[in-house]
Amino acid sequence: MIQRFSSVLLLLGICLMPIDSTLAGQHFDSPLLERCFEDARKIVDEAYTYSRQDTLRRVRRETVSPHDALRILNEPRGETRSAVRSADYMAQTLRLFVEKSHHIHKRSLNATDSLSQDDLMKLSDKTGCAAQIREPQCNSIPNINKYRTITGVCNNLKATRKGASNTPLVRWQPAEYDDGISEPKGNRSERINNFFLPLVRQVSNNILRMMDAEVVNDTEITRMVTIYSQWNDHDLSFTPFSPSIRSFSNGVNCDESCQRGEPCIPIPIPPGDPHLPTDSCIPAFRSAGACGTGFPAYNFSGTPNVRQQINAATAFLDISQVYGSEEKLALDLRNLTDDGGLLKVNEEFTDNGREVLPFHPLQVNACATRRRVTNDTNAREIPCFIAGDVRVDENAALTSLHTLFLREHNRLARELRRLNPQWDSETLYQEARKIMGAYTQVFAFKDYLSHILGEEAVKNMTGNYTGYNHSVDPSISNVFATAAYRFAHLAIQPTFSHLGANYLQDPQFGNIPVFEAFFTPWRILFEIGIDSVLRGLIGRPAELKFQNHTMVDALRERLFQFVQQIALDLGSLNMQRGRDHGLPGYNTWRKFCGLSQPRNQAELARVLNNEDLARSLFQHYGTPDNIDVWLAGVAEPFVTGGRVGSLFACLIARQFKNIRDGDRLWYENSNVFSTRQRAALSRASLARIICDNTGITSMPRDVFSVISSNNSVTPCSAIPRLDLAAWKQRPCTGAGCSAPALKFLFLFILSCFPTLLEIFL
């Protein structure tokens, strides 16, 4: 059975490959373009190789800096890396062509002024960009109406790449770049709307700065809301950095210089910075561009090629952070040594006898942080964990959720096998994965969103589900991924709490500073396990955000800090990322959402209900039009019952509604689940999943609300289980039941390769 399944995957990959690859071996009509392509390929390949070797060298020496850690965390891998490389080939080829053409002709011109349509098509093919937009053959994918593809392709059968991994983030409003095409907003130090943009670090220092001692606990939501927001975010979006740490144009190392040049966008340090020298900078890297975007040329439809960023994750609530968004990774995560449909688990360690994530097979270990954090030179280092998302090891709380849902998949697969012993490994895997995807959809709309947006906003902005709408684009918007859904950064406490069986502080490990929880999978194995982490998320409140001072120093001054050196500033990074992506300013988004657009300080003060904050923002930006949308969004007062302001409530609600309505395989859509199955799923809860997969025996029913008289700790025996009886299937006894997998394989091969029929005769 395993061999048959592997054959199906192999043939699926072949069927999705471009049929006509002859262009790759052809030469361009323009000899200059041929030379530019070869030079560009060399520049990009050498930069990638240099960057990889430099990073590996630092990891081996255990001298990984905070910006190294961030880059490793956001580095594209697998098919995403290939897509980014193709984009870099294309962009650098056209950059060189423009430069050399200008030198020859002594005038400014666009690349396409001197290129034939045939050359442009050949360039797209030779760089690999053409393969990024070719439509897959949906009718050749088995069970396309029953199970999701790993990559999300063919969810929409009319627009097959909508919501798929490795496609661009979508724009709800036109991008605003300094050059109108690609250059980060504010990069040229020119006036925008008659004012200069302030340095992001200066804004962070003056508006966001908050001492850890100033933290006030939220009285309504728990830390689970914060980490579950990150969990959802990793399901919906992953915008990788460029793999290069060296400028393509001048070879400058982004880590060693404050010069700007693709892909380097360093964050300058303002005068009088409380922690960092003025003549230094915080290294930062551009998000990878999508193929054929961001250079001063025009695409084949004649419209400007404004730079777009790649989303390496699927846009659907499909729990891709467990299963992966690429076929190869999904297969690597599966246990193919038996027929149980299980995911791989760690073969060396357990957590009090329960499963933990497998280790990443890479020989070089970016998670070798234990000796530095504990100052124990004899401590054993362990590898990073591997999961469906590369950010699995970012912090111990996130790792705990990954571990929890790994266990739940395997629990479901075992239960389904007990109910349906006739099911093969593939069916068990797909059915368990399908239930897991439904979980995350149920939790989002039944439990989670009301804590973020408030019940009234959820009702008014998302409405009731009315069925699948193929015209709705579920793709993740740039403003959602880059700004709105980063709201939870302001609710992060400076420590992670670890609680014992009675939700009291663990006497040995207690509170761990946030900056000592990054890249520490060893804590799960050698110290705390996931039970105490989950109790800490459930039993302790989130941070209550203040408008004037909002981000703890653990995130502004010590992000990814393993040793005493320049760390990262999450607030500055968020604003810099928005400018890198060309996000329009505050009022553009207020108008988009049908909200008032303040024009002066008094009007801004009324919108924010805060005169001091409005004054400070005007001192920095000069006009509300220029305020970085992430900063303005988190500065707004909360909507009723929520933890975001009016703008972010609008943007988040719109995105989740699009995800729901544009998903053909949404759990409430007819024929996805039976009526009885949908009823069972509607009663599912995150609390029950924790009960079923940990040693925790009691908890509040609502893990997102603080423990209170209305949400008291309850024995797990009183929390309803998922009734899997709805998935019990009568054994097939008719003709054609003996080998369904062979039938699918046979039909699949014929759909791809009709001429191979004779092989099977």
Q: Tens digits of per-residue pLDDT, 278-334?
A: 888 988 899 999 998 886 555 544 556 899 999 999 999 999 999 999 999 999 999
Domain with CATH 1.10.640.10 in the chain: 146-177+218-237+312-583+642-728
Per residue in 514-572, pLDDT (tens digit) is: 777 788 898 999 988 999 999 999 999 988 877 666 776 666 755 555 544 556 788 99
Average of per-residue pLDDT across 136-160:
96
Average of per-residue pLDDT across 167-173:
97
pTM here is 0.90
Instruction: Report the pLDDT value the prediction gives residue 55, as an integer from 0 to 100.
Output: 81
User: Six-digit token pair at 157?
Assistant: 């059968």
Instruction: Report the pLDDT value the prediction gives residue 379, as an integer from 0 to 100.
Output: 84
Per residue in 570-590, pLDDT (tens digit) is: 899 999 999 999 999 999 999
Instruction: Report the pLDDT value the prediction gives residue 236, as an integer from 0 to 100.
Output: 98
Binding residues for heme b are 489
- Torsion, CA 473, CA 475, CA 478, CA 483, rounded to 10: 100
Per residue in 618-660, pLDDT (tens digit) is: 999 999 999 999 999 999 999 999 999 999 999 999 999 999 9
Per residue in 211-242, pLDDT (tens digit) is: 766 778 899 999 999 999 999 999 999 999 98
pLDDT band at 20 (very low <50, low <70, confident <90, very high): very low
pLDDT band at 254 (very low <50, low <70, confident <90, very high): confident
DSSP SS3 for 3:
helix
Count other Cβ atoms within 10 Å, centred on residue 708.
11
Residue 431 has pLDDT above 60, yes or no: yes
Strands (DSSP E) contained in 561-718 are 698-700, 713-715
pLDDT band at 698 (very low <50, low <70, confident <90, very high): very high
- Please tell me whether the peptide bond between 263 and the residue prior to it is cis, using omega within 30 degrees of 0: yes
User: Six-digit token pair at 692?
Assistant: 């079923």
Average of per-residue pLDDT across 259-287:
89
Binding residues are 489
Instruction: Report the pLDDT value the prediction gives residue 119, as an integer from 0 to 100.
Output: 87
Q: Which of 25-39, 186-200, 396-410, 455-469 has the lowest mean pLDDT?
A: 25-39
pLDDT band at 733 (very low <50, low <70, confident <90, very high): low
Instruction: Report the pLDDT value the prediction gives residue 25, as an integer from 0 to 100.
Output: 53
**Enzyme catalytic residues:** 234
Average of per-residue pLDDT across 264-271:
93
Task: With beta carbons less than 8 A apart as the criterion, state whether 341 and 425 touch.
Answer: yes
Q: Which fold has domain 146-177+218-237+312-583+642-728?
A: Myeloperoxidase, subunit C (1.10.640)
Q: Which residues pair with 267 in a beta bridge?
A: 282
Distance in angstroms (rounded) separating the CA atoms of residues 181 and 197 = 18
Closest residue by Cα to residue 571 from 587, 586, 555, 582: 555
pLDDT band at 17 (very low <50, low <70, confident <90, very high): very low
Average of per-residue pLDDT across 191-210:
92
